[in-house]
Amino acid sequence: MKDKSFNLLCQVERDGLIMPELINLPNEVLTIIKRLESAGYEAYAAGGCVRDYFLQRNSDDFDVTTSAKPEETRAVFKDYRVIETGIKHGTVTAIIRGLKVEVTTYRIDGLYEDNRRPSKVTYSKSSYEDTCRRDFTINALLYNPKTGVVDYHGGLEDIKNKVIKCVGEPENRFSEDTLRILRALRFSSVLGFQIEDKTKQAIFKTKILLKKISAERIATEFSKLLCGNSVREILTEYITVLGVFIPELLPMNGFNQLNPYHKYDVFDHTARVVENCPPVAHLRLAALFHDSAKPLVQRVDKKGIGHYKGHAEAGMQLAVHVLNRLKYDKATIGKVKLLIQYHDDTILPEKPMIKRLMAILTPELLLDLYALQRADAASKGGKKSRRDRFIGASESLTKEIIAAGECYSFDCLAIKGGDLINAGLCEGPETSRLMKLLLDAVIDGKVENNKNALLDYAKASDEKNEN
């Protein structure tokens, strides 16, 4: 076995990293470590939560790694609530004062099947061996209050130098579990770290194996990747990697728009729009696909100018197709669909138009649409279009409508179908026609949104119809 030497806290200080004596982990995690140690086992906080401490980022999940076997861990926490979901892989989740902490036995992963999961997991007595199965050096740090930071693979140095580097031989590690490629791109995008050369070469060499990874695992990492600050750099540099599971992106790369409104090719522009959108998955997915159909619908006129009639509709269909294949949830797909469908529309700062859009999109999604349009406008490097000139005014007006609670949909109309039926004004299918007429009248400012005014308006329109 390899030499077990490792960097302790004191060496870290010498390297110029500013280190407090103790890592500030939640008490619940420290309690778990202490309990395991009191029972005679080794235990460390491991992986993401230690990394995030040094990056001054909040962790959402905490992992503890231990020499105790799962049954032994269970026995140590017999007076706590414990979930055994991952017991096959040595994981017991202890719930302590509401915090879920995954406690996993030191593990050596056996041979990998299908480039995605180990066929057999062997428990180990060695914390070093456990760190060797972890993906990147920055994710292979251990900590407990007695030993300080245990850094077998130079992870602290890599955090300092902002580098993503595989633990062990990159090509082997990506061939074992190819999702690690996407994790590398995700960490690079989110943390702004560079991917070390050998790791990068291995990514390009093994990328085709991403075809074997399940859609769900890909989608989770891909959404996180898209929400990183350095997403533009990642999209640009790794388009051929992403093209393995979304080949629909590839025609955009280098596609000349032949249009005075656009300085950049479609993919360059797209990467900028993604970057300029707020880091919310559905928005960034919409940005990624908003112009994806341009290469499919391009028409070049006699003057050599490119036109893209129908690209929003076609892009929407393409996005829905891809997101269904990647098994995204229905809510996300629904939002992406509407955002792409309307992204190129000019929204005038006029209340009726805005209220109708609020009804179709929801107020929140309409605000997202402005964010997408603004990002789009900022990423052209060419002339401002008519659409772009109205974004600010329409957004302000939308916020005014929301703040004033003005009616824009059936839900906020001050009358219900039943009221119209009770007043003898309609029955059956007529009701929805009359309701629609009243909503239109309210939206167009022809009648106030109160019950009596609406009943009077409905009666008047009924009489008009009869005459």
Q: How many helices (H) and strands (E) does the chain have?
A: 23, 15
Euclidean distance between CA atoms 265 and 254, whole angstroms: 5
Distance CA 449, CA 409 (A): 11
Minimum CB separation of residue 361 from ligand ATP in Å reads 31
Q: Does 262 sit near ligand ATP (CB under 6 A)?
A: no
Are the CB atoms for 421 and 407 separated by under 8 Å?
no
Q: Select from 7, 44, 45, 48 the one that contacts ligand ATP (CB under 6 A).
A: 48
Contact assessment for residue 112 and residue 178, using Cβ atoms and an 8 Å cutoff: no
Q: Is 114 in the site for ligand ATP (CB under 6 A)?
A: no
Q: Which does 380 bind (CB under 5 to 8 A by kind): Mg ion, ligand ATP, none?
A: none
Q: Which is nearer to ligand ATP, 176 or 248 (CB)?
A: 176
Task: Name the binder of 139 from Mg ion, ligand ATP, none, CB < 5-8 A by kind.
Answer: ligand ATP
CB closer to ligand ATP, 35 vs 173: 173
The Cβ of residue 358 has, within 10 Å, a number of other Cβ atoms equal to 22
Measured from the CB atom, is 57 or 327 closer to ligand ATP?
57
Task: Give kind and range of the element (H or E) at residue 306.
Answer: strand 306-307
User: Coil, strand or helix: which one is 299?
Assistant: strand
The DSSP 8-state label assigned to residue 66 in this structure reads E
Number of Cβ within a 10 Å radius of residue 178:
26
* Contact stretch for Mg ion (CB under 5 A) within 54-62, 85-93, 101-109, 370-378: 54-62
Residue nearest to ligand ATP (CB): 48
Of positions 63, 268, 275, 291, contacts ligand ATP by CB under 6 A: 63
Among 13, 15, 61, 216, indicate the residue that binds Mg ion (CB under 5 A). Answer: 61
Contact partner, 50, from ligand ATP, Mg ion, none, Cβ < 5-8 Å per class? none
> Of residues 35, 134, 284, 374, which one binds ligand ATP by CB under 6 A?
134
Q: What is the footprint of ligand ATP within residues 151-210 (CB under 6 A)?
A: 177, 179-180
Residues in binding contact with ligand ATP, number by CB under 6 A:
11
SS3 label, residue 227:
coil
Asked if residue 221 binds Mg ion (CB under 5 A), the reply is: no
DSSP-derived 3-state class of residue 408: coil
DSSP assignment of 93-109 equals EEEETTEEEEEEE-EEE
Residue 15 binds to ligand ATP (criterion: CB under 6 A): no
- Nearest Cα residue to 66 out of 95, 102, 97: 102
Residues 6 or more apart whose CB falls under 8 angstroms from that of 281 comprise 223, 226, 227, 332
- Of 102 and 368, which CB lies nearer to ligand ATP in the complex structure? 102
Q: Which residues pair with 63 in a beta bridge?
A: 46, 102
Tell me which residue has tokens 């640009």: 236
> Reading across the β-sheet that carries 91-96, which strands appear in turn?
81-83, 91-96, 99-105, 62-66, 43-46, 142-144, 148-150
**Length in residues, the chain:** 467
Cβ proximity of 376 and 319 under 8 Å: no
For residue 48, state whether it binds Mg ion (rule: CB under 5 A): yes
Please choose, out of 59-67, 304-312, 384-392, 437-445, the segment that lies near Mg ion by the rule CB under 5 A.
59-67
Binding part of the chain for Mg ion, among 11-19, 58-66, 402-410, 444-452 by CB under 5 A, reads: 58-66
- Measured from the CB atom, the residue of 48 and 306 that comes closer to Mg ion is 48
Identify which of residues 142 and 249 has a Cβ nearer to ligand ATP in the complex.
142
User: Interface residues with ligand ATP (CB under 6 A)?
Assistant: 47-48, 61, 63, 134-135, 139-140, 177, 179-180
